[in-house]
Each structure stands twice: as C-alpha cells, then as structure tokens.
Amino acid sequence: MRMTMRWFGKDYDSVSLEWIRQVPGVTGVITTLYGKLPGEVWEREAIAGLKKQVEDAGLVIAGIESVNVHDAIKTGSADRDAYIDAYITTLERLGQADIRLVCYNFMPVFDWTRTDLAKVRPDGSTTMAYDQSLIDTINPDDMTSLIERQSRGFVMAGWEPERLAKLKDLFAMYRGVDEERLFENLRYFIQRIMPVCDKYDINMAIHPDDPSWSVFGLPRIVTGRERLLRFIGISDNVHHGVTLCTGSLGTNPQNDIPAIIAALKGRIHFAHARNLLHTAPGKFEEAAHLSADGSMDMYAIMKALHDAGFDGPIRPDHGRAIWGEVSMPGYGLYDRALGAAYLNGLWEAIEKGSR
C-alpha cells in the first residue's frame, strides 16, 4: 500500500503540494489535468508540466484520477471509435510519461451524487450527505444547480459546468441505453484499450458508481460484488481492474466490503478509503475516517486489503470541513490528513501484527 492524497492542480485546489508533502507517510499524489473535458486529447507538454510540478515538490504522480470517458463511448454512439482513439492517445502519452495508473468511471451523465455538500454534524464540522427521498422530488436540472450553489466556487470533480449545461442533450443520448447496453459499451471500450495498457503497463481502475444504485432513472452497473465480478470477467488482462472505493460501495449497506476485496484479489489497482454513517435507508452522511464515527469497520477493510496483498496507491477520500478550512467540499487538507494518519496507523498495526 502506498499512501497518497488527491490533488486537483494549483489552479483548482486550495491545498498545496508543499502541505501534502508534510502529511506523514504520503509520498505521492493522485491528480489530473482538471480542466480537460471528456474526449479531449491530453497534450504531452501539459502532462510533462504536471509531472514536473509534482516532482519539484518532492512527490510523485501515483496515478491519474480521472481520464474521463466521453458519453459517446458510454452510450455507444456512431462516433465512439473516434473518442476511443483519442482516449488511447492520452493513455499512450501518460504511459510515455511513466504514469501507470488511470482511474475512470462509467456512470451516465452524473458522476458521484450528493444532496447536501455542507451538512452540519453534532461536533460543528460539515460534511457531504445524501438523501434519496430528496432526489425523488427533484429533477436533474435542480441537481446541477444544487451542486453549483453549494460548491463554494470550486468546480466539483465530474461536474463540469460546460458538459452539464447540455443536460437535455445528455439525457437524450442515453435514451434506449439500459444496463445491458451500457455493460456492452463498457466491454467494447475495455477491449479496445487493453493493448495500449499492455504496451505501457497501465493499470485501469474503474471507479464504482456512487451511490450504488440508479439515480434519475439512469442505468448504473458498477454497484456491488456480482457486478464487479462480471466486469472483471470482461478481460483476463491484469491491467483491467478496479478502484476499491469504500464510500461508493458502502452506500449500500448490503455490500460486504471485506468480502468484495477478497473476491477482487489481484485486480484492485487503487483504493479510496472513507467511512459513512447510515441514518436511514437511502440516507447517509460522510463520517470521519475513524470506524467509531460511522457505520463502517475501517479496520476490517484495511485488513482485507492487506490480506489480499494490495500494493497499489490508496488515498483518504472525502473529508469533513473542520477547523474553519474553506476548500472544495470533501477535499480540504485537515480531515483528509487525519484520515491518512489513521489509515497509516491501522496498516502499521496490521502489518506488525501479522508478522
């Protein structure tokens, strides 16, 4: 396991590389060219520039989150091959820059979804929360304006305003795309990109759907154990793998995360660790990483990763806003640094205890 933190780039993040470097045990960042829209080819110079900034700060790029997949690929429209070609060119250039991990998702229209980006918790911290009963009463336009209103002026990952401005067209593209079609389009995409992943030894790590059920009637297919295993079954190429995101899979309390980790052994290329507090069916908020603060057993999760021989990058995921910090919701420094320290502590104890 290699502890990392997500960093959105100096023009977008309130947290600097210098501060990240001071978090004990953090050796790398998970980053991206944040301004790029799905479908754009990444320029060599831009990749080199990002890499230089990170390395000048004494860190390494441990992976890219995300190279986003264009909706033409997800819907399987007539022009998808051109978009896949563009994606392959980006992968090639990342590989040439020695970047060996790419996280992506296959969620239609919306990436991860929350209904409150600053819910006040009893200790005065704020956190992101989800309430399905609220989603059931609003339409997708309300959803985008809710995120925009609450994001404190930051662009939220996966919620690019340029793309979501065309929400009606986006929804129209998905007409007729059910779960099965979406899965077939995912299979097609994976089969086309595997050769370039082989050539440059790039691990592709799909991010599970968050929450792990359909929102606004759109299909979602990366939601739990069976589906993840079906997904892995698309290719026996070891580069074809997953991002084990505890917070996304954990939205469904039926998902037994340690069991999922064991089932995916060898194909977990990246991990996101975060704890949720379930308050009612379809209703949860993001807790501190500490097991006792939420509904999840973070020790059991870290132990399962350890026992599966996980040796990829892991990052603390969304944090609460604490100590007056103003940041992109979920991505302040303080609570994620506490999370990294705690996860490192669990890992050290598990490692020493297993010797």
The site for ligand DNO (CB under 6 A) is made up of 65-66, 103-105, 111-112, 157-158, 207, 330
Q: To the nearest whole angstrom, how small is the minimum distance from the Cβ of residue 306 to ligand DNO?
A: 23
Catalytic residue among 269, 272, 289, 306: 272
How far, in Å, CA of 32 to CA of 52, rounded? 13
Beta bridge partners of 8: none
Judged by CB, which is closer to ligand DNO: 140, or 330?
A: 330
The active-site residue, picked from 70, 197, 240, 245, is: 245
Q: Catalytic one among 13, 111, 209, 317?
A: 317
- 331 included as an active-site residue: yes
Residues in the chain: 355
- Closer of 224 and 307 to ligand DNO (Cβ): 224
Which of residues 28 and 330 has its CB atom nearest to ligand DNO in the complex?
A: 330
**CB of 352 vs ligand DNO, minimal distance in Å:** 31
The single-letter code of the amino acid at 78 is A
Q: Where are the beta strands (DSSP E) in 107-211?
A: 116-120, 126-131, 203-207
Which pair of tokens denotes residue 183? 């899965």
Residue with tokens 């100096």: 10
- In angstroms, what CA-CA distances link 60 with 7, 27, 57, 100, 194? 12, 7, 9, 12, 25
CB of 244 to ligand DNO, least distance (A): 12
Reply yes or no on whether 197 is catalytic: no
**Catalytic residue among 318, 334, 335, 342, which?**
318
Least separation in angstroms between residue 47's CB and ligand DNO is 18
Is 245 catalytic? The answer is yes
Q: How far is the CB of 106 from ligand DNO (least distance, A)?
A: 9
User: Could you write out the three-class secondary structure of 274-324?
Assistant: CCEEEEECCEEEECCCCHHHCCCCHHHHHHHHHHCCCCCEEEECCCCECCC
**Closer CB to ligand DNO, residue 105 or residue 275?**
105
Per-position b or e across 21-51, b if 16+ CB within 10 A of its CB: eebeebbbbbbbbbebebbeebeeeebeebb
Which CB sits closer to ligand DNO, 111 or 335? 111
Establish whether 207 is a catalytic residue.
yes
Active site residue 272: yes
Cis peptide before 253, with omega less than 30 degrees from 0?
Answer: no
Give the bridge partners for 30, in sequence order: 6, 63
Within 10 Å of residue 293's Cβ, how many Cβ atoms? 17
Of 331, 334, 335, 342, which is the active-site residue? Answer: 331
- Cβ closest to ligand DNO, residue 37 vs residue 236: 37
Give the shortest CB-151-to-ligand DNO separation in angstroms: 12
Q: Give the active site residues.
A: 207, 245, 272, 317-318, 331
